[in-house]
Copies of this chain bind each other. A is one copy, B any other.
């Protein structure tokens, strides 16, 4: 879930709630608050906790609520995870620490996640997103961590099908290996991945849900046709235009994108036109 900001940079909690109300109507299984597309590195702890509370409170009944609680230090991660737990989230998504990149060995990662899982009041999932962390967790580390009873899954956002398969091969069947890039949702489902946590679900939740339903009912031709349409949209909102693009797409498609928080900058008109065209070609329903 993105975090809408007001023009003055404050979190727009009302807009955030209105988004949930609308997302509740789509067939999503749950929500991730404070994921990497939420501008979480720009939020204060107080803002984070309020966003968690609102998500838990507003999510339709049967929805699973996850919160991103990974911070650079182990102790801060545990602290935030347990505050999230107190507010009722089902599990925490814990980003690989990465500031001292060169020191992030398998040993370090295994210790970090094991300690967090040992001391967390809720189960955790590993979050691997090399695009932002410049670090790619190894299958070996995942293999070992996936045996920990408190580590129940992993979101891999590398967008690499072969790597996803390599992770799948080393984890128990009960381990929730999730795909984090909507561009490879259908290929991932084909590999036996059971779910995705997707930036695209902010602005086009129905498309994401439909790809999975088409897959599950064996309508593979239609599934991949929709998948193919969504790739350029996903590329636009997660790569080319980044979070400002994701937010503008949301605004065009009936959600509350809101402003970005500085240092991020809003899209200029030329880029807005380009993005609108990409959404339009993909058959998304602009301006309703």
Contacts and interface: CB of A to CB of B under 8 A. Distances in A.
Interface of A: 9, 39, 41-44, 72-76, 97, 99-104, 107-109, 111-112, 115, 131-132, 134, 159-162, 165-166, 169, 181, 183-184, 186-187, 190-192, 218, 220-221, 224, 227-228, 231-232, 234-235, 239, 242-244, 261-265
Contact of A160 (B159, B190, B220, B221): B159
A97 B132 CA distance: 12
A123 B111 CA distance: 40
Contacts of A99: 41, 132
**For A102, A115, A181, which residue has the most chain B Cβ atoms within 10 angstroms?**
A102
A182 B45 CA distance: 36
Given A160-B160, A161-B183, A161-B187, A74 B263 contact: yes
Contacts of A112: 262-263
Contacts of A115: 262
Given A41-B73, A165-B228, A228-B165, A242 B100 contact: yes
Contacts of A159: 160-162
Given A73-B263, A165-B232, A102 B190 contact: no
Given A102-B242, A191-B224, 14 more contacts: A39-B73, A41-B72, A73-B261, A73-B263, A99-B132, A100-B242, A100-B264, A165-B228, A166-B232, A187-B187, A190-B227, A191-B228, A192-B228, A220-B220
> Helix, strand, loop or mixed for chain A's interface?
helix
A111 B261 CA distance: 12
B262 A75 contact: yes
B242 A103 contact: yes
A153 to B, nearest CB: 19
Shortest beta-carbon contacts, A-B, top 10: A42-B73, A190-B224, A74-B262, A112-B263, A220-B220, A187-B187, A162-B183, A41-B72, A165-B231, A103-B242
Nearest to A187: B187
Contact of A265 (B39, B108, B160, B263): B108
